[in-house]
Structure 1
């Protein structure tokens, strides 16, 4: 009996000790029997689950569960887990519970055994909210460090890395795992062990330090860095948080500035730097050499100190509006001597586009101008009449033909021959003949407009270029006036002479599309005038009549083509160069004439524009292309886009046509982004309020605008921003001879960079070789178009080839 009481007392003591251990535990503990009834629990269990004191008793079953369900964020999931646990008495379980009040509780459940059989379960619960919050903050901090453009290293006293961010790996070429096994000595050749020890001791005192050093990449490349080191201690352990920035570019700039300073002082070109009030701050030695002024004589003075009064207003307007100007001007040296100089002025602006400095560079070109002037005059002008000679004439005519082609205008060429000049020259002598030629040149000049060019080709042959002549009747009127002037007497000293004139007239582009043919046709017309009796003018009639008749026939056929369904569209893919995908195409019209076969758009589009038929043709193109877009958005890609060319004539003649196009898109349930309107540079140059209104209406409807053949016209770059252009199409003339280091490559790269700076994407036209494609892709060009990818294709063939949006 005594022994039994002793065992009972011992057991009771053990239970008391166990209960005391439970009560002192920081974890919440609940013990239940095999049937889920409470065997025991500790105060932490009551606290975590918010159970009022005295609310639970040994032997209770579902009461504690009811409290838990009130607190849990997802009670059904908890009940489901409990049900699964109690189906298998031997199952262990661990989970994380989320409370409605934001707490997180870690839960463990394991079976208890008695004599080898399950007798109940022990549940333990631990509040891990603070741990979760800390881990989250640590993750946020790590994420933030990984977003830095600078490298970040957490370094111990022995120079080992305990943390590195993503940029560190990118900069050095190592993986995270590799760097964490390395030390400062592996990546910084400037810090051997003895230097590191001194650095650490200094940093421990200063707590912060900034220095420049060298880092070495995995492949052995060295690059300069600026490091900001910060010392701190955690848990009595010292750490260095080092932020390293690659300063390669800064070093390059500093070196460039040093070189610039050397160049500035040793340059043979005069240089000056002025402040925002155009007051001189500094000059170089060459300035003194050229002008005679010492530094103390000009510093603080206005940059116009050398001005002779000959500086054009246009020059100062350009400087004040654009910030730069370049050209030839005349200025005055200190001794009063005038000199010619080639001047370049540039303005330095701050981030707010406020002027900060003005930089001027100039060289003395006085002697060069004198020599060049004599040589140029001799090379380009007839010494007798001072008119442009054959060389200058060819240059002027070439430029005027290009201008007429670009602006779709007509020019006339008059070929003039002086009848009976040979007789006067042979009879009165060469001196009198030369005087007659001088008087004839003066009369011809007086009979034409200031904008026209009069040239002497040689002997008694003269030419007149009538630019933008318009109606042929204008050329006829001028030719008649010249005939009249030439019939007047020529007073040659004491002698009087009479001559007449034969004039041939040819037009560009009516009679010829190039300089050689135009000159030949005008010459032929002049001989025809001579054959018809002299003292008259003659048009190049045969070619002119033939051309007019052909154009008339084509115009009549063009009126029947639309009704006769002779037009059809082809589609040329526009390829995204980076991904090799095709989600764009350009719609191109084709005319299958019933008797003449396939007629080029280059032949019939100009006629359609002249006759006004371009309006109905353009609307048909848009309708067909829009319907095709709708079909391909279902069969190829939901964002497929087709580009449609719109003629400048359509913009000028159809103020409300854009509304019809928008209505058509709406009827097809297409967004504005389904089509792109392609326009020419010339349209922007001549953009009146109607054009601007239509372009803005397209923009408001979501329709994008592409500028075709960019770089071949003369439109101002300001229009790119004014009309919010979406795409620039680099003309195929720049792509055709593309090669590394070529001028065309430089132009393409410049266009791409400029466009991207303005938020504009770039499409290169005329890509025919893989080399061209690779160069453009490397330059950052967005899209490509050309025979390398595909010729313009009928819709069915296009869909067959590009149904999966891939080449």
Structure 2
């Protein structure tokens, strides 16, 4: 029945009369956007409003006297004729007064999600005087959006524990594995073997045959490791071309070395790829715990030291950890002593890497990256010494040095023609746990005449997971009250990144370079990244893609409407003076304001 032909059952009467109230109610029901269905207690339709006619595709005349389940349920879900005939509403059930979500079918066969609310109108003591009123709303768009977000979260949670390319476990899963009761028991009473593998000259495979060949190599190694596994063993991809196999039931060196040698032989077999052959070489470090006096972490460290020795011996080797290799730890101890001197003698500087705002191709800020000017070894990147700083309790001091050097660099940029430049600063658990940190940061900003909004504090997602007693919510809140911006760094490498986005008042997330590196070759990864960017836009959060190394990656991110990028494709980290020159070549600096 066409809506313009329907009329309210009761015509308007004089104002104030009951009949007039009924007429007004009829008009409201006819024009409400929600679909309304009235039934008797046996489910027969007695009335539909126009919105219900439009929703289901059936007119009032056609539906009158029928039971909705005859035609609104998809064929496979419809009840039998006997059940339809015997149907009767139980007026005391929990059906009433609650929302119910059901998939229904329109007359044209299309399906939609119907949010329904059932209520009873009691017009008298008899059954025929009790009416069931159902209010319906099409919530298909909302349901599909929620399903998409759930799928993204499931993907991110899986990615938090697994390597995207090979499907192997990652370091996070490895940590949980060693903490499990099964593995702890083996460590304590029986023994465990660990094999650490690294692909020899993997960069040459990528450079000569392309990244697709490199990926095929990694998958080939992963498959071989899987095949060598016993039940309850664990295979991990722990780095770009690094793998680790935990052999849960091996407790003697001969058996462990035999497995390592077989892996070396199998993986080194030439791999056919397209019309070429990939020749793969690997080095393996092995460690064994048989006395119950070592931890999983110690086993991995020993295997890593053995792997280092294997590579130094000419690659393509298997080396078992020995006490002699343990002496290499002395070098690490020397590094710790050198680091303590470096903190006391200010042997640090910062290098800057620019960040590009894609919508207008404008450099809006830089990330400050700490470098150690070692008196013997030269400039050292943070990866060389930060773990040592953490273990020796120097992390907070290193963080404060980095903070002050970063702010000095920002002043330098602003005084040299770039007054709108911002700076991103990395922080650790150690400095976040310091209740004095916000005050010291505030003083450092004010003493340099810098606005708080010019600084973005980057917190690693792993900092949230491994912070121990650190109250990250409170730490972030202190920084936000100060006026600085806060970003979640390396998003996608930790567990439940979406949960972190909702739990902490952050301004931006930085997509981890491991996600960006897969953009060109992994459609599924592109879908995940586009979904994250859309979700962040809805939450008014910026997204920064780090590790952008190719123009193809940049254009994919541009099409996905990613706001900011940084990476080698734009520029490598550089000293402050070099950054000023770089900015002058790539932007037009503003003239400094004249002092009155």
- Deviation of 1:685 after TM superposition, in Å, equals 4.2
- Deviation of 1:298 after TM superposition, in Å, equals 8.5
- Deviation of 1:776 after TM superposition, in Å, equals 0.6
Q: Which runs of 5 or more residues in structure 1 are unaligned?
A: 1-208, 210-259, 263-278, 306-319, 325-345, 362-396, 419-440, 442-452, 463-474, 481-502, 519-527, 529-538
Change (3 A) 1:692 1:516: same
- Counterpart for residue 444 of structure 2: 664
- Deviation of 1:405 after TM superposition, in Å, equals 6.1
Larger Rg belongs to: 1
Q: Distance in 2 between matches of 1:639 and 1:542?
A: 56
Deviations 1:588-611 (A, max 9, x none): 011222222333311211111122
- Counterpart for residue 612 of structure 1: 393
- Counterpart for residue 528 of structure 2: 747
- Counterpart for residue 298 of structure 2: 507
- Counterpart for residue 286 of structure 1: 76
Do the aligned partners of 2:371 and 2:379 also contact (CA within 8 Å) in 1? Answer: yes
Do the aligned partners of 1:581 and 1:805 also contact (CA within 8 Å) in 2? Answer: no
Q: Distance in 1 between matches of 2:323 and 2:56?
A: 69
The answer to whether the aligner puts 1:631 opposite 2:412 as a matched pair is yes
Change (3 A) 1:600 1:582: same
Deviations 1:339-369 (A, max 9, x none): xxxxxxx99699xxx997999x9xxxxxxxx
- Deviation of 1:686 after TM superposition, in Å, equals 5.9
Q: Distance in 1 between matches of 2:512 and 2:295?
A: 37
Number of aligned residue pairs: give it: 372
SS in structure 2 opposite 1:803? Answer: helix
Change (3 A) 1:770 1:556: same
- Deviation of 1:733 after TM superposition, in Å, equals 1.2
Do the aligned partners of 1:510 and 1:544 also contact (CA within 8 Å) in 2? Answer: no
Residue of 455, 458, 467 corresponding to 1:678? 458
- Deviation of 1:517 after TM superposition, in Å, equals 9.9
Q: Distance in 1 between matches of 2:528 and 2:87?
A: 40
Deviations 1:676-726 (A, max 9, x none): 100011333467674322211111111001111111111452432442211
The answer to whether the aligner puts 1:593 opposite 2:384 as a matched pair is no
Change (3 A) 1:409 1:583: farther
SS in structure 2 opposite 1:479? Answer: coil
TM-score, normalization by structure 1: 0.39
Q: Distance in 1 between matches of 2:251 and 2:389?
A: 42
Q: Distance in 2 between matches of 1:798 and 1:785?
A: 14
Q: How does 1:85-104 map to 2 (within 5 A)?
A: none
The answer to whether the aligner puts 1:403 opposite 2:173 as a matched pair is yes
Deviations 1:488-547 (A, max 9, x none): xxxxxxxxxxxxxxx9988354223599999xxxxxxxxx9xxxxxxxxxx954377235
Change (3 A) 1:516 1:609: closer
- Deviation of 1:660 after TM superposition, in Å, equals 1.0
SS in structure 1 opposite 2:568? Answer: coil
Change (3 A) 1:476 1:641: same
Structure with greater strand share of residues: 1
The answer to whether the aligner puts 1:479 opposite 2:249 as a matched pair is no
Q: Distance in 2 between matches of 1:399 and 1:516?
A: 20
Do the aligned partners of 2:251 and 2:290 also contact (CA within 8 Å) in 1? Answer: no
Q: Distance in 1 between matches of 2:177 and 2:340?
A: 25
Change (3 A) 1:285 1:722: same
Q: Distance in 1 between matches of 2:295 and 2:387?
A: 27
- Counterpart for residue 602 of structure 1: 383
Do the aligned partners of 1:568 and 1:590 also contact (CA within 8 Å) in 2? Answer: yes
Deviations 1:126-149 (A, max 9, x none): xxxxxxxxxxxxxxxxxxxxxxxx
Q: Which runs of 5 or more residues in structure 2 are unaligned?
A: 5-54, 58-68, 103-112, 118-134, 144-166, 193-229, 231-245, 257-287, 310-318, 589-596
Q: Distance in 2 between matches of 1:676 and 1:401?
A: 28
- Deviation of 1:398 after TM superposition, in Å, equals 6.0
The answer to whether the aligner puts 1:555 opposite 2:306 as a matched pair is no
Q: Distance in 2 between matches of 1:299 and 1:686?
A: 57
- Greater RCO, 1 or 2 (C-alpha within 8 Å, sep 6+): 2
TM-score, normalization by structure 2: 0.52
Do the aligned partners of 2:491 and 2:497 also contact (CA within 8 Å) in 1? Answer: no
- Counterpart for residue 540 of structure 2: 759
Change (3 A) 1:684 1:456: closer
Q: How does 1:381-530 map to 2 (within 5 A)?
A: 399=169, 401-404=171-174, 414=187, 479=292, 507-513=298-304
SS in structure 2 opposite 1:642? Answer: strand
Change (3 A) 1:585 1:407: farther
Q: Distance in 2 between matches of 1:479 and 1:349?
A: 62
The answer to whether the aligner puts 1:546 opposite 2:359 as a matched pair is no
SS in structure 1 opposite 2:169? Answer: helix
Do the aligned partners of 2:191 and 2:250 also contact (CA within 8 Å) in 1? Answer: no
SS in structure 1 opposite 2:349? Answer: strand
Change (3 A) 1:614 1:461: same
Do the aligned partners of 2:365 and 2:424 also contact (CA within 8 Å) in 1? Answer: yes
The answer to whether the aligner puts 1:641 opposite 2:422 as a matched pair is yes
Change (3 A) 1:739 1:556: same
Do the aligned partners of 1:401 and 1:514 also contact (CA within 8 Å) in 2? Answer: no
Do the aligned partners of 1:591 and 1:600 also contact (CA within 8 Å) in 2? Answer: yes
Change (3 A) 1:356 1:716: farther
Q: Distance in 1 between matches of 2:423 and 2:345?
A: 25
SS in structure 1 opposite 2:356? Answer: strand
SS in structure 2 opposite 1:659? Answer: helix
Q: Distance in 2 between matches of 1:509 and 1:659?
A: 40
- Deviation of 1:575 after TM superposition, in Å, equals 0.7
SS in structure 1 opposite 2:344? Answer: coil
Q: Distance in 2 between matches of 1:762 and 1:667?
A: 30
Do the aligned partners of 1:283 and 1:295 also contact (CA within 8 Å) in 2? Answer: no
